[in-house]
Amino acid sequence: MKEYKIAVLGATGAVGREMLKVLEEYQVPVQKLLPLASARSAGGTVTFKGQEVLIEEATEQSFEGMDFVLGAVKNGMSKKFAPAIVKSGAVYIDNSSAFRLQSNVPLVVPEINGADAFENEGIIANPNCSSIITLMAVAGIARLSPIQSMVACTYQAVSGAGQPGLEELERQMADLAAGRKPEAKTFPTQIALNVIPHIGDELDNLYTDEEMKMQNEGRRILHLPELKVTCTCVRVPVMRSHSISVTLRTERKVTVEEAKEAVRAYPGCRLIEDYEGRNYPTPLDTSNQDLVWVGRIREDLTDDKGLTLWCCGDQIRKGAASNAVQILKLLTEKK
């Protein structure tokens, strides 16, 4: 079996660390692992397959000889290093939003449009976490009849803001328990015991860039260029796993039973009909695993061709790290 040299850019962040876990868990044949981070983190170590591996500072020379680079850094850092990665001959699987809407960069969820990954020019984009989870939940239904529109409301865990988001919620809960006034640094206001109906930067149409990702990315992933989506993104005081309420309208009427069977049979999904006495998943149910759980499938009462459902998935895993590793694994198995 061929082994691969794999770099993880941003190896010390929440998603980067999860990528290391998933690489090991998925038994990807790694000949050499290169954890890369900022100068501040260089010199430390990460654990991989029981061994301590030295973290190196990311430079434009870091990628020479690598087969794949998994990116877990923000847009600016991704754009900075992408040319050097491509020049090195490695395939860059990028978790940032830097290249998601670039026409020559495939935007891939392996279970939905895995074939697109092979049309890359050195860069493959990992979609937004909420987009991945939502589209996984509806992709089976889209096979029965093209989706024309969706109305979605996301309930996004603090893990979506990375390690600082997790730490802020923990800190605020401790402050409240101790009778102290919580301080908000990562989020615009207190998140503990609260919800914040605004994620990302507001655009001219009064939606945020986070909310527009569902439509812009959904069109590319589902190969539905006319798909219309209206979305409200809400930050909730949950550690990890995002939840989404989705109402979708299909070209022809899809019955509830047809939809259930499509979700039940779809790779990477789990239909919830009776789980611990309930017909819906929760964030806690879906944390630390890669399936998207789907429940409460029912007819939309405002449109004869509409369906409404609820889904949950782990934001750090399927919504980020695991999806990227699944893309990598798809490429290696094809080779």
Dihedral of alpha carbons 15, 54, 326, 127, sign:
positive
- Residue numbers annotated as active site: 129, 242
| Residue 76 CB neighbour total at 10 angstroms | 10
Q: How many residues does the chain have?
A: 335
Task: Tell me the Ramachandran region of residue 168: left when phi exceeds 0, alpha when psi lies from -120 to 50, beta otherwise.
Answer: alpha
| HSE-CB of 303 using CA atoms within 13 angstroms | 16
Structure tokens at 30: 């790694």
Stated as kind and residue range, the H or E segment containing 91 is strand 91-94
Q: Which long-range contacts (C-beta less than 8 Å, at least 24 apart) are formed by 88-92?
A: 88/63, 88/64, 89/122, 90/7, 90/63, 90/66, 90/122, 91/67, 91/120, 91/122, 91/123, 91/124, 91/328, 91/331, 92/68, 92/122, 92/123, 92/124
